[in-house]
Structure 1
Amino acid sequence: MTETLAAAYGADLAVTHILVVSELNQSRAFWVDVLGAEIYREYGGTSLVLRFGGSWLLLVTGGPPTVDKPDTTFAAPPDPTRVSHALTLRVADCLGVYEILRARGAVFLAPPHDWGGEIRCFTRDPDGHLIEFSQAG
């Protein structure tokens, strides 16, 4: 086959981030009501596709292996202080985002910090997934 990788991907290639959550309704409320994501599609009470910041986010509840991933179990993070995956959202006004999201119920690890070339702050979703808000300085 002489098809290039770009051709095999197609013009509509999109990256979807998958977060395994312990309670879908609680996570939906956080991502939609607090952070402002838009619901695109729901699947049987176990998964939810969101449009957020020009990307796709798939929230799924944990589950056992399946035919297409026979040795892989999905589980929400057991310890929110140990991070193996994080989302960074590049924003125009980190302090403004911080104030708005705090008013909506988001709990931040610390207020925004100015590192000179970047201002950033971090929050977690209900399962402990780390979310960074970053403003170029």
Structure 2
Amino acid sequence: MGGNEFQAGAELTHVLVVRDLTAARDFYRDVVGAEVVREYGGTSAVMRLFGTWLLLVTGGGPTPDKPTVLFAPPEDPDRVSHEMTFRIRDCQASYAELRRRGAVFLTSPVNHGSEIRCFFRDPDGHLLELSQIT
């Protein structure tokens, strides 16, 4: 592979494995503000969120192209291997709006000097962060 063949026209999709597709779809649509693009098979929802793709899928076993891989939602929400950070202009206002929409935060925004941030989880325990650079 030479040149820009890999990058030309490419877009990034975040895949999150969820227990309840309806609950996850509703959370990302109604709380976070994602646009539902399509759903299929009762197991997947494709969404647009802040200029990127978000694919919510229910768990499943190996397939011919990933013969040893099991898709499963997080077992322990306090052990994180993936997080999405939303870079926003006003952390306090975004925190208040998302709480109004039903998001449950770990703490209120914390000022770290160069950054104000706070964390919340989706219905499956995936960690999400609001971050304001000061």
Name the residue aligned to 1:78: 75
Q: 2:2 maps to which residue?
A: 4
The runs of at least 4 aligned residues of structure 1 exceeding 2 Å deviation read none
For the residue of structure 2 that corresponds to 1:92, the secondary structure is: coil
Following TM superposition, by how much is the alpha carbon of 1:14 offset from its aligned partner in structure 2, in angstroms?
0.6
User: If the length of structure 1 is used for normalisation, what is the TM-score?
Assistant: 0.94
Task: Look up the match of 2:59.
Answer: 62
Distance 2:7 2:76 in 1: 38
Please list the CA deviations of residues 26-47 of structure 1 after superposition, one character each: whole Å capped at 9, or x if unmatched.
0011000011000112111101
Q: Deviations over 1:46-83 (max 9, x none)?
A: 01111001111110000010111100000000111111
Structure 2: segments with no counterpart, 5+ residues? none
Map of 1:42 onto structure 2: 39
- Percentage identity across paired residues of the two chains: 57
Q: Which amino acid aligns with 2:101?
A: R
Give aligned pairs, total: 134
CA drift of 1:5 comes to 4.8
Cα drift, residue 25 of structure 1: 0.3
Look up the equivalent residue of 1:4 and give its one-letter code: G
Q: Please tell me whether residue 105 in structure 1 is matched to residue 123 in structure 2.
A: no
Structure 1 residue corresponding to 2:26, chosen from 24, 29, 32: 29
Using structure 2 for the length normalisation, give the TM-score. 0.96
Residue ranges of structure 1 left out of the alignment (5+ in a row): none
